[in-house]
Amino acid sequence: MTTTRRRLMAAAALPLLAPLAACAQAPVSAPPLPLIKPRRLRPGDTVALINPSGAIYERAPYEIAADSLRALGFQVKEAPNLRARYGHFAGTDAQRAADVNAMFTDPAVHGILAMTGGSGGGRILPLIDYDNIRRNPKFLGGFSDLTALINAVQRQTGLVTFHCPMGASEWNAFSIGWLRGAAMDGEKLLLANPTDRDDNIVPKTARITTLRPGTARGPLVGGNLAVLSAMAGSRYYPRFDGAILFLEEVNEYIYRVDRMLSTLKLSGALDRLSGVVLGAFTNCGPGDGNYGTLTLDEVFDDYFKPLNVPVFSGALFGHIRRKFTLPVGLPVEMDATAGTLRFLEPAVA
């Protein structure tokens, strides 16, 4: 091929490659949107139950979730496709996205809570009407697979969303108290683990481990590690510049945790953080026959200590009974020595 022909082909390809290059750079270069806060939830408000991810096969969890929300003082609305099923998903992608869009549009709905996690939330992200959400900001909460939706909505709209118990979660006094303080009372909360000792001489549960001491400020981003790492490179990936990253996981072998953290590292996310808070990594062990595996402690040391930012583990969020409510996008201050997170302003208006 002649030099002239190569130049002509390269010039012809430039208009085609330019949009692709712009898309590839969008998650990093796009400026942050102004922060939008949802109106605080009040007794008597209507909370809609949606199911953006996995199906629930029994009837009882729906009734228990509705009864729990009523006990908290809310009225309950089921999204039209809440009980749908398509394989292991709670309906088709179109059905699940339609419920999210419809509940944000509905003026009678004041808050939106996911029924459960599972998988499939990432599939609906391109079908969400983010402009509609920006025009009708509301409380949106969930955790686990809802990591995809709450981070995508925050990134695309600026709306503060909530990593919090879901409809099918256990509604104990601890979890209710933190949800109420964040989403109803609008308090500038200080999230700190309790120091229960039971009959032991020192506390054995809910212990904080400081990997690197210090304090840091920044917007909260994060959630489930597997879901977050699967979003890498997309326009729904959170902005990590100066952020406080919080992570949790469940039922993953340690080598998979290592691989997911490698994805965050290779994407450049870890190198732009102000601090890291690690929650529960429930049932994350070496797996059968993996005699030579690294421990979770060693994996965390490898990825987080070289960042030279404050890091602590043991915060109460994730796949555990007692959960903090974490507002995604809200500016917070972390103290890795004390093991605390402090809201710098209310999460709701």
**Residues involved in catalysis:** 144, 248, 319
The phi, psi pair for 321, rounded to 5°, reads -65, -50
What span, in angstroms and rounded, lies between the C-alpha atoms of 1 and 249? 53
In the sheet that holds 209-212, the strands lie side by side as 190-192, 340-343, 331-335, 215-224, 244-250, 275-282, 311-313, 209-212
CA distances from 74 to 37, 65, 66, 162, 312 (A): 20, 11, 9, 17, 35
DSSP H/E element including 99: helix 93-105
* Amino acid letter for position 212: R
* Amino acid letter for position 294: L
What span, in angstroms and rounded, lies between the C-alpha atoms of 257 and 296? 8
Closest to 279 (Cα-Cα) out of 191, 345, 152: 191
In the structure encoding, which two tokens stand for residue 281, read together?
């990594």
Q: Do 143 and 223 contact (CB within 8 A), yes or no?
A: yes
* Amino acid letter for position 291: Y
In the structure encoding, which two tokens stand for residue 248, read together?
């949790």
CA distances from 200 to 194, 316, 320 (A): 14, 20, 21
Q: Is 304 helix (H, G, I), strand (E, B) or coil?
A: helix
